[in-house]
């Protein structure tokens, strides 16, 4: 397990596309190598990425970034994506990755470490609960896509 570097954005994009296929959203991926370079390795990176390897073979990745909680008054760590290739699943990579990220969150004095799971992904939900994560059933996630952001922004008084 190690931090990704700018020369590996092609591998990162491959993993992102594989995850999208596995989750049933292959046509939603519009990210490019250039946008990954800018947002993960540019002048003001907004996210970080790590890779997992098994016997030198690329086995998966995670992308994460910081948030802020008004409840805790501390930053948090949000795991945006965690993906382990199917042939490497069940070997403990996911648990090690989450352990690494929890250690990172602890070292960065985060008050929370959070992520989302698709409701139909019972294997992931069961795994997350088995490591002590709390399923936040009382929350719903809301999203505005780019065009919807534009529409809502028209109401801004600024």
Return the active site residues.
Answer: 128
Q: What gap in Å lies between CA 125 and CA 119, rounded to an integer?
A: 8
Strands 112-115 and 48-54 come out as unpaired
What the block records as the tokens of 37 is: 């370079």
From residue 83, give the alpha-carbon distance in Å to each of 18, 52, 97.
9, 9, 10
Q: What gap in Å lies between CA 150 and CA 94, rounded to an integer?
A: 37
From residue 126, give the alpha-carbon distance in Å to each of 60, 63, 131, 147.
20, 21, 9, 35
């Amino acid at each position: 397990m190690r931090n990704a570097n700018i020369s590996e954005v092609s591998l990162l994009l491959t993993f992102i596309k594989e995850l999208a296929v596995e989750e049933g959203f292959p046509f939603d991926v519009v990210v490019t190598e250039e946008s990954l370079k800018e947002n993960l390795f540019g002048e003001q990176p907004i996210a970080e990425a790590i890779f997992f390897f098994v016997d030198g073979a690329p086995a998966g990745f995670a992308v994460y970034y910081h948030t802020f909680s008004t409840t805790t008054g501390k930053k948090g760590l949000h795991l945006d994506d965690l993906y382990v290739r199917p042939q490497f699943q069940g070997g403990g990579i996911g648990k090690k990755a989450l352990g690494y990220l929890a250690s990172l969150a602890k070292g960065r004095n985060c008050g929370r470490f959070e992520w989302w799971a698709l409701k139909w992904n019972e294997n992931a939900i069961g795994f997350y609960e088995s490591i002590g994560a709390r399923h936040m059933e009382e929350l719903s996630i809301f999203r505005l896509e780019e065009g919807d952001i534009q529409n809502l922004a028209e109401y801004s008084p600024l």
